[in-house]
A and B are shown apart, each in its own frame.
Chain A
Amino acid sequence: MKEYFHSVNLDKDKCRGCTNCIKRCPTEAIRVRKSKAQIINERCIDCGECIRVCPYHAKTAITDKLDIINNFKFKVALPAPSLYGQFDKKYTRDNILYALKSLGFDYVYEVAKGAEIVSEATRQLLKNPDIKKPMISSACPGVVRLIQVRFPGLIENIVKLESPMEVAAKSAKNELHEKHSIALEDIGVFFISPCAAKVTSVKAPYEKQKSNVDGVISINDIYLKLLSALNNSEKGTNLAEAGIEGINWANSGGESSALGTEKVLAVDGIHNVIKIFDEIEEDRLKDIDFVEALSCTGGCLGGPLTVANAFVARTTQQKHMSEASEKYASDIDNKNYKELVWTSDVEYKPVMKLDQNVSRAIEKLEMLERLYAELPGLDCGACGSPNCRALAEDIVRGIANETDCIFKLRERIRDLAEEMVELGGKMPPVMDKDK
């Protein structure tokens, strides 16, 4: 495995080198160089914000194509709860799951069922007085990675539980293996994803060595196929099993509303998440035991690889919830979920620090402050850095020059021109004549 795998990727042919993405990136991970955006790998958290804002659709997500499922004898689809919200309300979940299955899968296992298990496991953890509060949900991989690069003080607050996707993958494999005696190596499970961050969490997991998911297919990629399957195929029965709680995970506030306590806070949109994390880190958030933080506005329904408008999808999702049972199985609450706890911790990635050595870092920060004070403060982005402060930082890091700033360049040219005019007026004494 490479040190940094990222799902978010650049299509160089489409990129025009504008400044939309650099200005929206929450970790200042993008620069424009030679008219193309460049992603700084160690900083990217795969939130997909740049995919959403790029007017030329040059930011893409690396996902698996549908034919990857043919690498396995027995193919299982794991639809994210947000899949249901993507279609017209006239389709039931049974319809959607049947259409999904008809694309070549042998079995469908709803990730919403995994979500119900994670909800119960979280409820059990909340009762533990020794656990660090407020707990911060680890459901959104973009948020976990944000904490790794920007909020090291909050690493201890992360809920160290496997995600609904991983729980569903493991449950599906075990169920098929035990009940239908299918060899584990013959089973391939594929997550149908609303976002890029989930791809990264499968290909480069932070919480363990290997994911149980064998591939990630984007909702966007198979949307058309699903639509035609919905119109053609039979309607499907008895496929939809997940309960209200699990389906609601697609919404912002869905995960936290299942916890049975009012001491919860749900925040969505990566820039809003940053503000709340600042408050937690400075001990300003009172009386909250659990924080559900989702990178996308509207939660997973607003994922960069979804198709339907997030706000429309929300009402559709409500309809599916009104048709669902309370829980997918009645015995969820009676089990113990110790096996869902991560075996290893996530690590702090100090990508923001200016130097390994504290003294030198201070010197660099001092230089940065001096440079920043001299810059115009327009934050125009024309230099290729997201704002003036970031340019000052890039200069200190040695990846930019002061004259990358067009205003600084213009100043230098004007000074030079003035000097030339002044020099042009001077005559060598031997040639100087009185008028």
Chain B
Amino acid sequence: MGTIRLKYDIPANDFITAGEASSNVKNKLTQIGLSSDIIKKAAIAMYEAEINAVIHGNGGYAYVEISDYKVVINIVDFGPGIPDLDLAMQEGYSTAPDNIREMGFGAGMGLPNMKKYADKLEVFTKVGKGTKIIITVNF
């Protein structure tokens, strides 16, 4: 049984490359021949996590593991962490500054969307250290 392991850099505050990693993973899932529903779930959840790492987390890495039954997307950043996770999980809650909101981000849908589209969502966060998000989508 094969497993594909991929690693992507997520540069901080770089809105030009933001979303590239999730688009790339989407293309690979298409090559594997998964249904469009599954691809969509993985792509949207990963995109949200990627953008969060760009906006809030000073950048970081995405580690993606694709196996026969699932894709596990691990997004790690070394940013400020999330002080109140319950609050961050609420739709519409955002700590994004005004300049980010002006760019159309920061609608407070990041984590809620991840939860909506991932089959399993795990968030590990520590204030001052960073955040690790593990998204699992089953095939």
Point out residues on A near B: beta carbons under 8 Å: 150, 152-153, 155, 278, 281-284, 286, 348, 350, 352-356, 358-359, 361-363, 365-366, 368-369, 393
Contacts and interface: CB of A to CB of B under 8 A. Distances in A.
A283 to B, nearest CB: 5
Interface stretch (B37-45, B91-99, B122-130): B37-45
19 contacts: A150-B30, A152-B39, A153-B36, A282-B19, A282-B44, A283-B47, A348-B36, A352-B31, A353-B30, A353-B32, A354-B32, A354-B33, A362-B3, A362-B4, A363-B2, A366-B2, A366-B4, A368-B31, A369-B4
Contacts of B90: none
Given A358-B139, A362-B66, A284 B36 contact: no
Ranked nearest first, the 3 interchain pairs of A and B with the lowest CB-CB distance are A353-B33, A152-B36, A153-B36
Nearest to B4: A366
Contacts of B27: 352
Interface in B30-62: 30-37, 39-40, 43-44, 47
B2 A153 contact: no
Contacts of B23: 278, 282
A366 B47 contact: no
Contacts of A281: 26, 40, 43
B68 A356 contact: no
B97 to A, nearest CB: 19
Contact of A365 (B22, B28, B39): B28
B25 to A, nearest CB: 11
**Of listed B28, B30, B44, B68, residue having the most chain A CB within 10 A:** B30
A358 B47 contact: no
A361 B31 contact: yes
A63 B26 CA distance: 37
Given A359-B2, A362-B66, A366-B4, A284 B33 contact: no
A355 B40 contact: no
Interface string B12-23: 000000010011
B72 to A, nearest CB: 13
Interface in B72-104: 104
B138 interface: no
Contacts of B37: 153
Contact of B44 (A283, A354, A366): A283
A350 B36 CA distance: 10
B31 A365 contact: yes
- By secondary structure, the A interface counts as helix
A354 B26 contact: no
Contacts of A352: 27, 30-31
Interface of B: 1-4, 6, 19, 22-23, 26-28, 30-37, 39-40, 43-44, 47, 66-68, 104, 107, 113, 139
Contacts of A393: 31
Contact of B32 (A278, A348, A358): A358
Contacts of B2: 359, 362-363, 365-366
Contact of B113 (A155, A283, A369): A283
Contacts of A152: 30, 35-36, 39
Contacts of A353: 30-33
Contacts of B28: 365
A362 B104 CA distance: 36
A359 B1 contact: yes
A153 B40 contact: yes
B32 A361 contact: yes
B33 A366 contact: no
A79 B31 CA distance: 40
A356 to B, nearest CB: 7
A278 B113 CA distance: 17
B30 A365 contact: no
A284 B19 contact: yes
A420 B43 CA distance: 51
A186 B40 CA distance: 49
A399 B98 CA distance: 52
A278 B21 CA distance: 12
A355 B2 CA distance: 14
Given A283-B113, A284-B47, A365-B31, A359 B68 contact: yes
Contacts of A363: 2
Contact of A358 (B3, B6, B33, B113): B33
B68 A358 contact: yes
Contacts of B44: 282-283
A365 B6 CA distance: 11
Contacts of A348: 36
**Of listed B36, B39, B68, residue having the most chain A CB within 10 A:** B36
A282 B107 CA distance: 15
A353 B27 CA distance: 10
Contacts of B139: 358
Contacts of A153: 36-37, 39-40
